[in-house]
Amino acid sequence: MAQWAALDEHVAGYADVLVSACATGRRLDRAELDSRRELGQRAAEAGFALRGLVRHHLAVAQEVLPTVPAGAAASLLAAVQQAVDAFAEGYERSQHHAVRQEEAARREFIDDLLYGRSDLGRLAERAERFGLRLSQAHAVAVASGPEPYGDGYPVARGIESALLTRFAGRQILLTTKDGRLICVAPGDQPDVLAFFAKQAYAATDGGKVAIGRSHPGAGGVVHSYEEALNALDLAERMGLDAPVLHAADLLVYPVLTRDRQAMADLVESVLGPLRKGRGGAQSFIDTLTAYFDSGCVATEAARRLSLSVRALTYRLERIHSLTGADPADPVNRYTLQTAVIGARLLGWPDTEA
């Protein structure tokens, strides 16, 4: 009965309100409705379930029924409805406020986690509230699509449902940031990120997913997240077609651009003469890209460019003539391929190196 006693606190004055309303058949006034809303709000804050509170309201109404004037049952029913509606409104308002506070705290945590803007010790404490143990290594996957996505979007909800169903009990954080879908998972569980990538690719209608490497600690999440973002940016600049990109497979590109000026000098020195060719340098860059991407197989490169083998061969000869470097020569090939990669990374020739 202790439970009922606790519930009594949240129906205080309710019986008197019902009796007063039934005496004249009036509706509940503003003060009475406000008191019901306030009690509903307090009940929600105290953690009581709404179903049990409603049952208690009905039980009190049954106790009041024998005391009201004959024929006042309809008035009693109307008063109960008003009182319970007001009580439920206050209860729901409190819950909505708590949800908004929780969402704000979660968003603040995610911003701090992905940007490393908080004390790492404090961040680790907050992380456990959201299902992460930052003492472990974590990896981050980032998915982008043709449109921005938010936490409440059907795409985000669908992926979250699929992941939580497949990996119930796993320590996974799903969220969105800057219109992208993000999954943080323990570094020793690559199956989680692989499944996320598959779901995100399908849900975003052919978007791209990048997976950062696993790194330890709170700072490791930031590092992995930045690697994934850089991989997406690299895919756009380099025209990489793979739907899923692994930062571990792309480490050569940051190495090549670490000394940007040296790379710019190489591009200008090796490829600069291509500007003199008919149509400018870009068609030759595209030719070399297709040639190298096809393993230096002329027939495959020609197919990719929708050219005849003869036309492709002519372009390669023209490149040799302009630059002095023969794409078919192993020594020259490495220099040309490095310069072509640099040109794509730097946006050359559209953006001057």
Confidence category of residue 113, pLDDT binned at 50, 70, 90:
confident
Among 41-55, 85-99, 188-202, where is mean pLDDT lowest?
85-99
pLDDT over threshold 80, residue 124? no
pLDDT over threshold 60, residue 132? yes
pLDDT at 68: 84
Mean pLDDT of the chain: 86
pLDDT at 130: 72
pLDDT at 306: 93
pLDDT over threshold 60, residue 353? no
Distance (Å, whole) CA 81 – CA 79: 5
Q: pLDDT tens digits for 148-164?
A: 888 778 888 899 889 98
pLDDT at 2: 44
pLDDT at 183: 92
> What percentage of residues in the chain have a pLDDT greater than 90?
36
> Phi, psi (5° rounding) for residue 123?
-65, -40
Distance (Å, whole) CA 22 – CA 25: 5
pLDDT over threshold 80, residue 296? yes
> Phi, psi (5° rounding) for residue 225?
-60, -45
pLDDT at 102: 66
**DSSP 3-state percent helix, strand, coil across the chain (nearest 5):** 65, 10, 25
pLDDT at 334: 87
pLDDT over threshold 60, residue 5? no
Confidence category of residue 8, pLDDT binned at 50, 70, 90:
confident
pLDDT over threshold 80, residue 24? yes
Q: pLDDT tens digits for 61-78?
A: 899 888 888 888 888 999
Confidence category of residue 310, pLDDT binned at 50, 70, 90:
very high
What is the pLDDT averaged over residues 297-308?
A: 93
What is the pLDDT averaged over residues 72-99?
A: 86
pLDDT at 346: 87
Torsion on CA atoms 174, 176, 180, 184, rounded to nearest 10: -30
Both structure tokens of 287:
């030719």
Q: How far is residue 286 from each of residues 290, 331, 352, measured CA to CA in Å?
A: 6, 20, 17
Q: pLDDT tens digits for 245-287?
A: 999 988 888 778 788 888 889 899 999 999 988 888 999 999 9
Pairing state between β 244-246 and 208-211 = parallel
pLDDT at 245: 93
pLDDT at 1: 44
pLDDT at 99: 62
> What percentage of residues in the chain have a pLDDT greater than 70?
94
Both structure tokens of 254:
């940051």
pLDDT at 278: 83
More confident residue, 128 or 335: 335
